Amino acid sequence: MAIKDTNRKPFIEDNDTNVKIGIDLPIRRGSKDGFFASTSTTIEAVKNNIRNLLQTNPGERFFQPSFGIDLRKYSFNQIDNDTLFSIQDEILDKFEFWLPFVQVKDIKINNGDGNKLLVNVIFNIQSDPNTLTSVQIDVNNGDNTTDNTTIESGR
């Protein structure tokens, strides 16, 4: 359950829903706002950026061959502590390079259901440290299973 701290205001306020920030995923036809469906808040756009980074293999994106993380190579491997650290290090390195405005708080990796590999990234945006958000993807299917937003009280 999300806990909202009403004493602190978030630093990023996306008040104008007529201003679009990025293309929403999955790519689909937009209603009246344009050709593609668009995101209207910064946090939605950052979540889409994270999904793109996690689900893209290096070499798939034209003119940016180092964009992406090859998480699919871990799909059928034994997941032990060394593999977990390797996945987390790879994710942190790519986030530092491609998404430097995102602070990763935790990376949870779960492979409890056989060959299913779930990656959950808990993060916040540097300009809005009070909002803690997560994105979880299924590496094998490319599904975006959940994403949650909570506002954490100041420490």
Residue that wins the pLDDT comparison between 106 and 2: 106
pLDDT of residue 127: 83
130 CB neighbour count, 10 Å cutoff: 17
pLDDT in tens, 4-42: 445 555 545 556 666 777 777 777 877 766 678 877 788
Instruction: Look at 85-89, 101-105, 110-114, 138-142 and tell me which has the smallest mean pLDDT.
Output: 110-114
Which class is 22-151 in CATH?
alpha beta
pLDDT above 90 covers what percent of the chain? Answer: 35
Instruction: Look at 17-26, 39-48, 70-79 and tell me which has the smallest mean pLDDT.
Output: 17-26
pLDDT above 80 for 113: no
Output the CA–CA distances (angstroms, integers) from residue 96 to 17, 84, 93, 104, 106, in the order listed.
30, 18, 5, 9, 14
pLDDT of residue 147: 52
Please provide residue 40's backbone torsions phi and psi, each rounded to the nearest 5 degrees: -115, 0
Mean pLDDT confidence for 141-150: 58
Instruction: Give the 3-state secondary structure of residue 54.
Output: helix
pLDDT above 50 for 153: no
Question: Where along the chain do its domains lie?
Answer: 22-151
pLDDT of residue 155: 45
User: What is the secondary structure of 75-96 as a DSSP string?
Assistant: TTS---HHHHHHHHHHHHHHHH
**Residue 142, both tokens:** 């490319």
